[in-house]
Amino acid sequence: MKRLAVIGGGSWGTALASVLAPRFEQVRLWVYERDLAERMQATRENDLFLPGATLGPSVEVTSSLPRAVEDAEIVLGVMPSHHARRVYDDLLPHLDENMLFVSATKGIENGTLLRMSQVINDVVGNRFPPRVGVLSGPTFAKEVARGEPAAIVIASHDISLARAVQSAFSGPSLRLYTNTDPVGVEVGASVKNVIAIAAGVCAGLGLGANTMAALITRGLAEISRMAIAAGGQARTLAGLAGLGDLVLTCNGDLSRNRSVGYQLGQGRKLSEILAGMRMIAEGVQTTYAAQELSGRLSVEMPITRQVYAILREGRDPREALRELMERSLKEE
């Protein structure tokens, strides 16, 4: 594998382009904002989403989708989940059946409730059956861009694709493990952001380590129930894309979703918080989708339900916590 297209110039897309550049002869990074793409091509820095990280000279930054995927062997999608369908629609005339598609977007599409790999199949399948994998794990973009060691998962029903991407992406600071359960990986990657908002709320309320440990543990149980109901495997959620990513996102100060929850716990309104954010907190939209999906799958998800109530219904965080604690008693 010699030619990589990274579709999405936010912090994670920029970090991946940077760390993967030495592994490929050609890396093209598609950035939606034309002025930002021009600045990045000139200065080698994403001053909007990942300031301080330097792109190597081999990374070509472009705002042209056809140019980004020209001759690409791997198309790595890192766009926000609510833009994914539109971007793949725009890409469709420029794709071919020899490309491998890897989704690093963490989210569930509102309305359809499709995971991102399903969105790719839904769109690209109109031309040819795409070969699709999903990439996830406990990673903050800033640390990956600095070259700090990280481990992630590449999951696909097509094990040959997973192994090809593992070989192409693994390097001195990024270690990939293969997995054949993309359903579990995508559910874990998406719903952990909902639990991270809850973790931030607890921190904003001034609650301590006992509460956080209980939240992470019961959050993992909740995510696992949804993954299994959707056709995933419980053991996947005990790995990097489940427990690993959940622990990082709930505890790490670099987590945007945790930050949203923290500010909610401090009494700020969601509209004010989002208006002041430059980057997207996927967990907000995922909460709405996960709440609807839990009903469709008949899965009990009490933490998700309370996060939904805080975000959509304006419930006071302390009241939401009280309702969680006073639910009917159960076995673990």
Q: Which two tokens stand for residue 61?
A: 């930054």
What are the backbone dihedrals phi and psi of residue 216, each rounded to the nearest 5 degrees, phi first? -65, -45
Q: Which two tokens stand for residue 63?
A: 């705002």
Q: Which two tokens stand for residue 38?
A: 């021009």
With H, G, I as helix, E, B as strand and everything else as coil, classify residue 68: helix
Question: Among all chains, which residue has been given the structure tokens 């001195």?
Answer: 172
pLDDT of res. 232 = 98
How many CB atoms sit inside 10 A of residue 106's CB? Answer: 29
pLDDT of res. 183 = 98
Continuous segment of H or E residues that includes residue 148: none
Question: Per DSSP, what are the bridge partners of residue 59?
Answer: 27
User: In the chain, what are the helix, strand and coil shares in percent, each to the nearest 5?
Assistant: 55, 15, 30
pLDDT of res. 204 = 96
CA distance 177 to 102: 14
Q: Cα-Cα-Cα-Cα dihedral of 155, 156, 160, 164, to 10°? A: -40
Q: What angle do CA 33, 35, 40 make, to 5 degrees?
A: 95
Is the Cα dihedral 297, 301, 302, 307 positive or negative?
negative
* pTM greater than 0.75 (yes/no): yes
Is the Cα dihedral 164, 165, 169, 173 positive or negative?
negative
154-164 confidence digits (pLDDT tens)? 999 999 999 99
Annotation says 142 is catalytic? no
* Closest to 177 measured CA to CA, from 191, 156, 192, 197: 156
Burial of 196 (0-12, 13-18, 19+ CB in 10 A): buried
pLDDT of res. 259 = 95
Could you tell me whether strands 131-136 and 45-46 are parallel, antiparallel, or unpaired per DSSP bridges? unpaired
pLDDT of res. 137 = 97
Full set of structural domains in the chain with CATH: 3-180 (3.40.50.720), 183-325 (1.10.1040.10)
With H, G, I as helix, E, B as strand and everything else as coil, classify residue 96: coil
Q: Which two tokens stand for residue 228?
A: 């299994």
- In contact, 244 and 138? CB cutoff 8 Å: yes
Is the Cα dihedral 31, 36, 38, 39 positive or negative?
negative
CA distance 305 to 282: 17
CA distance 249 to 251: 6
Q: Which is catalytic among the residues 106, 192, 269, 330?
A: 192
Residue stretches of the chain with pLDDT short of 50: none
